[in-house]
Structure 1
Amino acid sequence: MDVDKMSDSDDDVPRLSAETMAALQEFYKSQELTEASDVQSGISENWNLSQFWYTDATAEALAKETLRAAGSTGRIACVSCPSLYKKLQQLKPATCTTVLLEFDKRFSVYKDFVFYDFNTPLELANLQKNTFEVVVADPPYLSEECLSKTAQTVRFLSSGKVILCTGAVMEDLAADLLGVTMCSFVPSHARNLANVFRCFTNFDTHYLNQGNS
């Protein structure tokens, strides 16, 4: 083997500039952080738990309305709606408190996670009664039992304002249990659902285009 020729050919290999190398390293670091965040957040839906994530547009609209209603120093409880909780973490001011009540223990990576089973609606760790300016709930199942038990949780936690996301067929029961009315805003999911899904509130909204006078 001709050592000199091998060395010459090595010199012909294209080399990246220092700036390009730095940009690549930054890109790979960003990708690693994103992947780690996705794993930590447990973002993949578990259909066995009846999980269906909101689209980003729906999560953002709900998050903005929730933050508007809670105020900059308000307390927000997210009951069985982890994709909304994740969006709130991106948008909320540091002075705003959020808590996630969720059955799926993958979300225990969040410091504000509280294990929640709608079958035992008032087993809420150390959460105090009527201490949340806004409670947002998305019961996992379209059944009278599930909504009724989730409503017990909502009434216990709420100091006034409620946002409920559930099937349109639950409208009358939702009104009876929580005094909410249907908004014109129609939530959407990353995976289309067979059931018509709607949003209900008991207060005047801005981002959800609803007046409950």
Structure 2
Amino acid sequence: MDDDDDAPSLSAETFAALQEFYLEQQKRQDILDKLEADNKLKENILFEENWQLSQFWYDEATVHSLVKVIDATVPDGGKVALISCPTLFVPVKRQIENRATGKQVTLLEYDKRFKVHAPDYIFYDYNSPEALPGETKHSYDLVVADPPFLSEECISKTAQTIKFLAKGKIVVCTGAIMKDNVEKLLDLKLCEFKPCHRNNLANEFSCYSNFDLDAVLR
């Protein structure tokens, strides 16, 4: 008997699905290679949400509002840190770099796809809330965070990171059910502004800050 007869075989559908998966992976790698070859193309990349990482991108109106808040509250020569909200990075960077303001934006994110934005990218795992470069401590005029999971552990550890980075203003976007935790851990107040997502989520989301964020948007 031929040993090959005992080897497992894939169905036509499974084989086709695997081919599609590998082709998609190759397309993404080709994009990353192209971005690394041409720095100017980095801002043109649009990554898909990775639901396994609890990623849900903001809709355009929310991005526009948060970019406006960030631009208005970070002083010239100031710095903003974006924690676990990569959908904001490119719009904020474009707005800031449209003028000679000297403002800087840093993305702290677990998803290593966004390392194409280095040196403005720092790998971040909320399970190690202070495993960050020493020079980032208390160096950001504004910290904007969107913890990936609606759990007490996640908001507690993200709050620890926020306190490590912040020297002034703070904005947190998270589920409305986390209100008590946000207020207790960071002494933030609920805003009228409500962040929305491209794909409607079952959980209601809210925004919290330690300054009058709504006044900026009026």
Partner residue, 1:103: 110
Matches within 5 A, 1:57-136: 57-92=61-96, 93-94=99-100, 95-111=102-118, 112-136=120-144
Aligned pair 1:53/2:57, yes or no?
Answer: yes
TM-score (norm 2): 0.76
Q: Say which structure is richer in helix.
A: 2
Paired residue secondary structure (2:72): helix
Which structure: larger Rg?
1
Aligned pair 1:195/2:210, yes or no?
Answer: no
Question: 1:168-201, CA deviations, whole angstroms, 9 ceiling, x for partnerless residues?
Answer: 1111110111110110011110111110001100
Q: Following superposition, which runs of at least 4 residues in structure 1 exceed 3 angstroms of deviation? A: 36-42
Kindly indicate whether the alpha-carbon contact (under 8 Å) linking 1:174 and 1:180 is maintained by their aligned counterparts in 2: yes
Aligned sequence identity (%): 45
Aligned residue pairs, count:
176
User: Considering only aligned residues, what root-mean-square deviation do their CA atoms show, in Å?
Assistant: 2.1
Paired residue secondary structure (2:136): coil
Gaps of 5+ in 1: 1-31
Tell me, in whole angstroms, the C-alpha distance in 2 between the residues paired with 1:127 and 1:59: 28
Counterparts in 2 of 1:208 and 1:141: CA distance versus 1, 3 Å: farther
Q: State the Cα distance separating 1:57 from its structure 2 match.
A: 1.2
Question: 1:39-94, CA deviations, whole angstroms, 9 ceiling, x for partnerless residues?
Answer: 96352110010000001110111111012111222100000000111210121144
**One-letter identity of the residue aligned with 1:60:** H
Matches within 5 A, 1:32-43: 37=41, 41-43=45-47
Q: State the Cα distance separating 1:208 from its structure 2 match.
A: 4.4
